[in-house]
């Protein structure tokens, strides 16, 4: 039974891939070490996943439906947290705070009125779990002129910084993002473009499967270079950082427009989408000559994608973050547990050089259970 001290933080993440709600309980030490206490995953209900995809593609939704989605997600997060507490024999008094990212339903970091929307009522989480909850992390950064994303580089820097060599931490979820941690230059990072999102959507359309396990389908064919060149010619890939993106931009509608000029088999397209993910990540890392790359997120399990990354970055050593002590499946949830800790300690969670915000600031809103 854990000692009754509130030194544990719980991170909750349901990402752009819309697969699972990941809940991880951890302790952080002053030496930068992360002690994993317990983890639990619940699948995201299928109808919620379908609704989020509909919203992200710009389809209208009533205020009633939006409010109900917010409430349902809050209940899903609370249920997942309570399951973890029960399985790990933890009580609310053992936990300092929950850091919940929420489910992104729309991300618009530019334009006259930039905004980002994450749903999952944190009042429900705090009330149902009895634990102080920190949520709504991204909008404070946006209020100071930032992209609101990515927010994980500060944690990556805290954990992975090496005074001897460059380190790239790549999260390959629905969208891929990179944190570049170098001993001789400031921390920087950005969303590189599609991660698993397009590969998953194409697999669902043509094979009626959730995803291409281990990249096996993509590996049956070869990337079609003219299509790859066309995809990479999208203005997003050459746009300078800070930049962030999401399902609103990179989706099947975007892909179908690119495919109008070609007549390719589905497997050729899948192979090209895998190459797009690998090459867009490599474009972000390649300006530095060598170093180490740690990969996390669902894409870290795609062996064909990991092989393509190694081929694209031959001077870099590439491994899962598990080799550095943090499960590739837990990294983002742990990052939001760390961000919750930053908030309770009145410390900044964003990195202006990464997001473009005018200043570092304490992120999120705190929801008390009483």
What residues are designated binding site for ATP? 15-22
| Pairing outcome for strands 34-43 and 115-119 | unpaired
15: which residues sit within 8 A by CB, 6+ positions away? 101, 104, 173, 174, 297, 332
Q: What is the DSSP string of 227-253?
A: HHHHHHTSHHHHSPSS----TTTSSHH
Please state the separation of Cα 24 from the chain's center in Å: 15
Asked whether 301 and 214 are in contact (CB, 8 A), the reply is yes
d(CA 35, CA 344): 19
For 289, phi and psi rounded to 5 degrees?
-70, -45
Q: For the range 78-81, what are the long-range contacts, defined as Cβ-Cβ under 8 Å and sequence gap of 24 or more?
A: 78/124, 78/125, 78/127, 78/128, 78/129, 79/42, 79/128, 80/12, 80/21, 80/23, 80/40, 80/41, 80/42, 81/10, 81/12, 81/23, 81/125, 81/128, 81/129, 81/131
Residues β-bridged to residue 133: 98, 367
Asked whether 345 and 232 are in contact (CB, 8 A), the reply is no
d(CA 82, CA 67): 23
Residue 189: CB atoms within 10 Å? 29
């Amino acid at each position: 039974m854990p000692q009754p001290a509130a030194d544990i933080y719980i991170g909750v993440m349901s990402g752009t891939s819309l697969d699972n709600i990941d809940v991880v309980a951890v302790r952080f030490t002053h030496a930068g070490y992360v002690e994993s206490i317990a983890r639990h995953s619940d699948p995201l209900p299928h109808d919620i996943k379908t609704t989020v995809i509909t919203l992200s593609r710009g389809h209208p939704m009533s205020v009633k439906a939006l409010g109900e989605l917010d409430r349902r997600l809050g209940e899903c997060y609370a249920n997942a947290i309570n399951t973890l507490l029960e399985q790990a024999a933890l009580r609310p008094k053992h936990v300092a705070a929950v850091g919940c990212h929420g489910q992104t339903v729309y991300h618009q970091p530019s334009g006259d009125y930039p905004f980002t929307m994450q749903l999952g009522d944190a009042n429900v989480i705090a009330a149902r779990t009895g634990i102080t909850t920190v949520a709504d992390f991204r909008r404070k950064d946006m209020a100071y002129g930032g992209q609101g994303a990515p927010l994980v580089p500060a944690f990556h820097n805290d954990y992975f910084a090496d005074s001897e060599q460059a380190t790239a931490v790549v999260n390959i979820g629905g969208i891929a993002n990179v944190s570049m941690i170098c001993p001789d230059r400031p921390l920087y990072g950005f969303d590189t473009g599609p991660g698993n999102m397009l590969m998953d959507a194409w697999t669902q359309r043509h094979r009626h499967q959730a995803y291409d396990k281990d990249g096996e389908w993509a590996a049956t064919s070869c990337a079609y270079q003219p299509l790859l060149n066309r995809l990479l010619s999208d203005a997003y890939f050459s746009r300078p950082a800070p930049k962030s993106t999401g399902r609103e931009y990179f989706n099947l509608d975007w892909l179908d427009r690119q495919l109008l000029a070609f007549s390719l088999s589905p497997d050729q397209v899948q192979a090209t989408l895998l190459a797009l993910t690998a090459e867009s990540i490599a474009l972000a890392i390649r300006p530095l000559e060598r170093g180490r790359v740690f990969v996390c997120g669902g894409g870290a399990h795609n062996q064909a994608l990991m092989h393509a990354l190694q081929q694209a970055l031959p001077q870099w050593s590439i491994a899962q973050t598990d080799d550095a002590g943090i499960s590739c499946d837990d990294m983002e949830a742990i990052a939001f547990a760390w961000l919750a800790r930053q908030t309770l300690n009145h410390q900044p969670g964003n990195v202006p050089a990464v997001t473009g915000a005018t200043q570092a600031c304490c992120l999120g809103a705190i929801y008390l259970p009483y």
